[in-house]
Amino acid sequence: MIEQLLAEHKLNQNKITTLLSSLAVKGVNYADLYFQHSISESWLLEDGIVKSATHHISHGVGTRAVKGEQTGFAYSDDLNAKAIQQAINFAKGISGQQQTQKVQTFQTAPHPAKYNGISPLNSLTSQEKVDMLKQIDTLARKEPKVKQVSASLSGAYTEVLIASTDGVYQKDYRPMVRVSVSVIVEHNGRVENASSGGGGRYDYRYFIDHNFTEIYAKEAVRQALVALEAQDTPAGTMPVILGPGWPGVLLHEAIGHGLEGDFNRRGTSVFTGKIGEQVASEKCTIVDNGTLANRRGSLTIDDEGTPTQNTTLIENGILKGYLFDKLNAGLMGVKSTGNARRESYAHIPMPRMTNTYMLNGTDNLEDMITSVDDGIYAVNFDGGQVDITSGKFVFSANEAYLIKNGKITHPIKGATLIGSGDEVLKKISMVANDLKLDSGVGVCGKDGQSVPVGVGQPSLKIDQLTVGGTSLTP
């Protein structure tokens, strides 16, 4: 679609080169044009009835000029050359010059794709999409305690073309799908809710071929039934064991953001200036890997046209590096790690995570449990908050269990984990060999922009962590 769209506006490679040259005036260190065409849809079923179905098409171009630490940016929803030139004139205003500079010869060879670049929206008919959601509803309602069910299906297909003054001229074709299910259960007057879901850079048949409709429905019901049995959480400082997979969102928030290049260039991260230092237990090796096939956070190229890579952030507890886009990498005298991301053409790129996870250790979960006299085992999280400068975080566990005398006892509710990312890393004493990635539901927010991400980890033990709860008795 993007080739057709550009052709309709007579925007061939030569014309784009001319526009880019107009943007790259004297005094500008770097400039780029980011063309985008996106189609998205969503379907929502509530209590067996289709409540909404949406379809959205958008396209436009972002124009950016970088001068030192300054960025001039403007975008246009219209792809005719006159509208783009108006955006360019605004963006290059940071220079105050009109004399253009030479643009490097474009490198147009494509990079190996990390996903199938075909739109997922037509992989099922409208009726098949509704039938999938109704099947989820039916499966969830097999449990008599289920009173309400909500199921949604969403898909998107985005095509981008990136042209920049350092020779990038790259296209990418990005599919994305997701299924979500939420249930409300009731028993003896007590009401609880839970949700499940997943997705990635697939088409809709991925959910059918792998029986995920049943898996997601059963998981949502399972979590809700566990919540019905949950008792008050003891408050205090105690050992905490985190389960594999989605609990990696704690690493993402409490540690990952602090390793993004812009925070470290400005000196506002708790990890600033600590490359080569021991910042975590030697049990910890953490990577950000944008190259995993079909994962929600993966990209063939980032939003500056740089191929994504597997970046080691922490190795055996030693801080090895940060995540960079071109702007922050250039200012710090290093190369981009392929982590420039933007929500759309109407936003500037910034260093962001892709799929961030801890690698396997050599311990096992059973030994972790037996090593704890009084503590908790946190399996799933709702969400949390983190302060990048201090590293302090607060996270809510929506599925957790009390550990007593080396055994998992009963589920608990209202567990809140409180700590500091850099301190928690040093208190990790055991890391299992059961690494899991999340099911494909992660969305990361930063400076008002949201992008899809992935998280993961093996089970791990934190020796001491503050737990906020609803009971003072451990």
CATH number of the structural domain spanning residue 47: 3.30.2290.10
pLDDT per residue over 27-39, tens digit each? 999 999 999 999 9
Final residue before a domain boundary, out of 196, 229, 262? 229
| CA distances (Å), origin 307, targets 30, 64, 149, 222, 444 | 18, 20, 41, 40, 20
pLDDT at residue 164 is higher than 60: yes
Sheet holding 286-289, edge to edge: 318-319, 310-315, 286-289, 355-358, 454-457, 436-437
d(CA 425, CA 463): 10
pLDDT at residue 471 is higher than 70: no
Q: Is 474 among the domain residues?
A: no
Residues 36 and 163 grouped into a single domain: yes
| CA distances (Å), origin 346, targets 19, 33, 46, 58 | 18, 11, 33, 11
Residues 35 and 50 grouped into a single domain: yes
CB contact at 8 A, 56 and 158:
no
Q: pLDDT-based confidence at 294, cuts 50/70/90?
A: very high
Q: What is the 3-state secondary structure (H, E, C) of 343-394?
A: CCCCCCCEECCCEEEECCCCECHHHHHHCCCEEEEEEEEEEEEECCCCCEEE
Residues 272 and 329 grouped into a single domain: yes
Q: Is 354 among the domain residues?
A: yes
List of residues 6+ apart from 65 with CB closer than 8 A: 23, 24, 25, 28, 30, 31, 71, 72, 73, 91, 92, 94, 95
Residues 203 and 261 grouped into a single domain: no
Percent of the chain with pLDDT over 70: 99
Residue ranges making up the domain that contains 291: 232-468
Final residue before a domain boundary, out of 229, 247, 281? 229
d(CA 233, CA 415): 6
Final residue before a domain boundary, out of 184, 205, 229? 229
Residues 211 and 75 grouped into a single domain: yes
To the nearest 10°, report the CA torsion of 165, 170, 162, 297: -130
d(CA 198, CA 182): 12
pLDDT at residue 474 is higher than 70: no
Nearest to 64 by CA among 327, 308, 451: 327
d(CA 355, CA 299): 10
Q: Is 268 among the domain residues?
A: yes
Burial of 46 (0-12, 13-18, 19+ CB in 10 A): middle
Residues 133 and 207 grouped into a single domain: yes
Q: Is 154 among the domain residues?
A: yes
Q: What's the mean pLDDT in 281-292? A: 98
d(CA 150, CA 310): 37
pTM: 0.95
Residues 366 and 246 grouped into a single domain: yes
Q: Is 202 among the domain residues?
A: yes
CB contact at 8 A, 200 and 452:
no
Give the count of domains, the chain: 2
d(CA 97, CA 445): 35
Q: Is 104 among the domain residues?
A: yes
Mean per-residue pLDDT over the chain, rounded: 95
d(CA 369, CA 347): 46
Q: Is 473 among the domain residues?
A: no
Residues 111 and 124 grouped into a single domain: yes
When mean pLDDT is compared across 49-53, 115-119, 274-278, 389-393, the lowest value belongs to 389-393
d(CA 29, CA 94): 11
List of residues 6+ apart from 215 with CB closer than 8 A: 196
d(CA 45, CA 49): 5
Residues 25 and 113 grouped into a single domain: yes
| CA distances (Å), origin 261, targets 25, 266, 273, 349, 428 | 26, 9, 11, 12, 25
Does residue 327 sit in helix, strand or coil? helix
Q: pLDDT-based confidence at 88, cuts 50/70/90?
A: very high
To which residue do tokens 């079923």 refer?
45
When mean pLDDT is compared across 246-250, 343-347, 429-433, the lowest value belongs to 246-250
- Residue 183's identity, in one-letter code, is V
Six-digit token string for 371: 């090593």
Residues 413 and 453 grouped into a single domain: yes
Residues 385 and 404 grouped into a single domain: yes
pLDDT computed for residue 472 by the predictor: 53
Consecutive H or E run containing 190 = strand 190-200
pLDDT at residue 338 is higher than 90: yes
Query: CA angle, 138 as apex, 133 and 140 as ends, to 5°?
Result: 95
Q: How far apart are the first and last CA of the chain?
A: 60
pLDDT computed for residue 418 by the predictor: 95
Consecutive H or E run containing 228 = helix 212-229
To which residue do tokens 């959205």 refer?
56
Q: What's the mean pLDDT in 343-361? A: 98
Q: What's the mean pLDDT in 77-86? A: 95
Residues 392 and 449 grouped into a single domain: yes
pLDDT computed for residue 103 by the predictor: 87
Query: How many CA atoms lie less than 13 Å away from 73 in the CB half-sphere?
Result: 14
Q: Is 447 among the domain residues?
A: yes
Query: CA angle, 436 as apex, 433 and 439 as ends, to 5°?
Result: 170
To the nearest 10°, report the CA torsion of 304, 308, 310, 314: 20
